[in-house]
Amino acid sequence: MDLKPHGIHHITAIAGDAQTNLDFYAGLLGLRLVKRTVNFDDPGTYHLYYGDEQGRPGTIMTFFPWKGARRGSRGVGQAGATAFSVPEGSLGYWLERLRTAGLPVEHPHTRFDEEVLAFADPDGLRLELVAHAGAEDQDPWHNGPIPAAQALRSFHGVTLVESSLEATAQVLTGSLGFAEAEAAGERHRFTNPDGAPASRLDVVVRPNEGYGRVAVGSVHHVAFRIAGDQEQLRWRSRALADGLQVTPVQDRCYFHSVYFREPGGVLFELATDPPGFSIDESMSELGSALRLPEWLEPQRQALEQRLPALELPAAGAVAS
């Protein structure tokens, strides 16, 4: 049985203000809020999940919003940029939309024969839109706030910033089943051989750069897809035998997870595709109300009083 993960499941980052985060990702970028719940390890704060219309793995960007927390700093040992796929010919639309919203946006450039538009969210988290052939074959959110021809699809990939390549590459190509596809200067691209969306991972090697600090405006962890629980248990056993320090399985309600740090310091997760985000609300209701795991339901009233009220942005309210 193939135990290799198949692309990115989700990426989790740290935000500041929850409403600002919601306005940006659901309003400006046009992602769907597919789940509003709490950080199971710190239930006094939200855990917000954004994705495509159905909340499919490979599209999910999640945030822990900690208002008032300090900003992180960029450096090695971090995921330095998160990239979303968009159809070819759509970067002009996005350049105008982002600039109209007052965001500093870098001029589009070419990387590995793909067009890249780089910018940052309100907390300084580095984001990229990558226009490439095949993106239009992925289903957009047809009734979302962004026209289907320009709407974000899945992740394109993620960039890791490392002080050296070898040990990280060994985990990527050995344990995780990626293959090095191409390189240009300090950037090395790894891809998943099955060709699934959200399966590109770039490693930028900067031996003279200091380590970053993960806080507001930083990626907390990168999660890769595992088909199910049995495959996850088998993978965990093999990873432990390979010397990786892997956690026990954690129940995250919408998926089951194990965590480990790759040799360069980035926190990785292996997350199962099932049960999925429709386990506690219908597809039409995704993200409409606060959802809590069973063990936190007795605290619902206290948590609802503590958590700030959130209001979904109206379509087109942030930028047009």
Residue 224 near residue 9, CB atoms below 8 Å: yes
Tokens of 97: 């939309």
What's the total number of domains in the chain? 1
Residue 46 near residue 65, CB atoms below 8 Å: yes
State the CATH number of the domain containing residue 82. 3.10.180.10
Strand order in the sheet with 60-65: 32-39, 42-51, 60-65, 8-15, 219-226, 267-275, 255-261, 250-251
Report yes or no on 317 lying in a domain: no
**For residue 189, what is the enclosing H or E element?**
strand 187-191
Question: Which long-range contacts link 118-121 to residues 24+ away (Cβ below 8 Å)?
Answer: 118/81, 120/217, 121/15, 121/21, 121/24, 121/25, 121/217
Report yes or no on 319 lying in a domain: no
Helices (H), ranges, the chain: 18-22, 91-100, 166-170, 229-241, 300-306
Helices (H) and strands (E) in the chain, counts: 5, 16
Residue 202 near residue 187, CB atoms below 8 Å: yes
Task: State the residue range of the domain holding 117.
Answer: 8-306
Report yes or no on 209 lying in a domain: yes
Report yes or no on 320 lying in a domain: no
Report yes or no on 312 lying in a domain: no
Note the residue count of the chain. Answer: 320
Report yes or no on 313 lying in a domain: no
Digit-by-digit pLDDT tens for the chain (320 residues) are 456 677 999 999 999 999 999 999 999 999 999 999 999 999 999 999 999 999 999 999 999 999 999 999 999 999 999 999 999 999 999 999 999 999 999 989 999 989 999 999 999 999 999 998 888 888 888 889 999 999 999 999 999 999 999 999 999 998 888 999 999 999 999 998 777 789 999 999 999 999 999 999 999 999 999 999 999 999 899 889 888 999 999 999 999 999 999 999 999 999 999 999 999 999 999 999 999 999 999 999 999 999 999 999 975 444 33
Give me the half-sphere count of Cα atoms (radius 13 Å) on the Cβ side of residue 99. Answer: 11
Q: What residues pair up with 182 in beta bridges, in sequence order?
A: 189
Residue 272 near residue 255, CB atoms below 8 Å: yes
pLDDT score recorded for residue 3:
64
Report yes or no on 318 lying in a domain: no
- What three-state secondary structure class fits 308? coil
Residues 6+ apart with CB under 8 A from 66: 14, 15, 16, 45, 216
What does the DSSP 8-state code read for residue 54?
Answer: T
Report yes or no on 1 lying in a domain: no
- What three-state secondary structure class fits 239? helix
pLDDT score recorded for residue 317:
41
What value, to the nearest 5°, has the Cα angle with vertex 30 and ends 187 and 122? 65
The residue assigned the tokens 């997870």 is 257
Q: Report the C-alpha gap between 39 and 22 in whole angstroms.
A: 16
pLDDT score recorded for residue 258:
97
